[in-house]
Amino acid sequence: MAIAVYIWAAIERVKECRAGYWTIVLGALSGFLYYWGSLGHYGVLPLCCSLFGYYVLVGRGAGLLPVHGKAVLVTGCDTGFGHALAKLLSDMGVTVFAGVLDEDGAGAQGLRRHSSKDLQVLQLDVTDHSQIEQAHRYVCSHVGEKGLWGLVNNAGILGYPADGELQPLATYRRCMDVNFMSTVEMCQVFLPLLRKSRGRIVNMLSMAGEVPMPMLCAYGASKAALGNFSRVMKMELDAWGVKVAIVQPSGFRTNIFNSDKEWSCHQEEILSNLPSDTREDYGEEYISSLRGCLLEMANQSLEDLRPVLKDICHALMSVAPKSLYTPGRGGWLLPFFYRICPNAISDVILKRLFKLVDAQPEGLRMKVSGTE
């Protein structure tokens, strides 16, 4: 098992670096021949060289491209990853077009106070076609024939944690619209500019798109769709010299969790849309208890956003970017575990691992107590 984990992790880390593949192959071949005595003690030399090469190519990275003259568009910069990334890239000397949902909001004002000529705030609701077209015209007028170097599709919503049966259809549609369809449109609109520079697309995914997480059905489904789209686009755009990278963080604390106040409106929406028999099976007490999921998710999340920002910058500026980045606690281990484990085992573990509420639906409690 340990060998399998090592090999998988090694391959993931050098997917975009052909030299890295040869490093692993040489190391494995040398070790095999040395083990069977074909090279004798001479096999130690190529084995050590390959391990050193692996360290240089993978552990230390393949170097970064110069930032001068490069422009990047980042969506969802009001808060969280997008807000911090816009500031970081502008400090590096990159021209940043920071798309915000509210150009008069606190997030936009904070970006303007950053006082960088390389940071420009744009009104950009990624679900509004007219705003996307307006942003496209603005970016075109500034980048000219150089094109746009990077597009970071960061805007996204979580919705509110609840059983998949309880979530209103409007929540599914909203998650798909913001997390998936908007990214498709952003890519289609800005790809002509990205082709000019042979630039980069970075799509922000989530472990919930690869690992089924209870209470996050709508969010996970939208991220799964985005993951498949991103992997197909990576293959299709390779011929154009445009690289596509996926950043798939584990749990980090951002404003995507929304606020406890807004839960009351969502709870009302759930109750008003439920059929009477479903409402009776779950019970209002259980539905009200879902409010605690927000707090539990926030408590389990990491506050330090730097691992995510570092990986996004690497995807944008590295000479040899990876196709998949998994920053955060268990970012690569949990998806790997889910892929190799039988469903009967992984389902039990995931249900316990992501148990956000202790309450049970009314119908299940009645069955356990034998009153039904």
Q: Which residues does the annotation mark as catalytic? A: 219
Direct distance between the N- and C-terminal alpha carbons of the chain, in angstroms, rounded to an integer: 46
Say how far apart CA 329 and CA 335 lie, in whole Å: 12
Rounded distance between C-alpha atoms, residue 261 and residue 357, angstroms: 18
Residue 31: Cβ-neighbour burial (10 angstroms; 0-12, 13-18, 19+): middle
Could you tell me the two tokens for 121?
A: 């705030």
Provide the 8-state DSSP code for 40.
G
Q: Give the count of beta carbons closer than 10 Å to the beta carbon of residue 249.
A: 24
* Burial 139-163, CB ≥16 within 10 A → b, else e: beeebeeebbbbbbbbbbbbbbbbb
Q: What crossing angle do the helices spanning 182-197 and 129-143 adopt, rounded to 10°?
A: 10
The three-state secondary structure class of 120 is: strand
Amino acid at 237: L
> What is the phi-psi region of residue 179: left when phi exceeds 0, alpha when psi lies from -120 to 50, beta otherwise?
alpha
Q: Distance from CA of residue 163 to its chain's centroid? A: 22
Tell me the C-alpha distance between 293 and 126, whole Å: 27
Judge residue 97's burial from the number of C-beta atoms within 10 Å of its C-beta, 0-12 exposed, 13-18 middle, 19 or more buried.
buried
Q: Are 246 and 371 in contact (CB under 8 A)?
A: no
Residue with structure tokens 């990876």? 322
Q: Which residues pair with 120 in a beta bridge?
A: 97
- C-alpha distances (whole Å) from 347 to each of 164, 211, 351, 352, 355 are 16, 10, 6, 9, 12
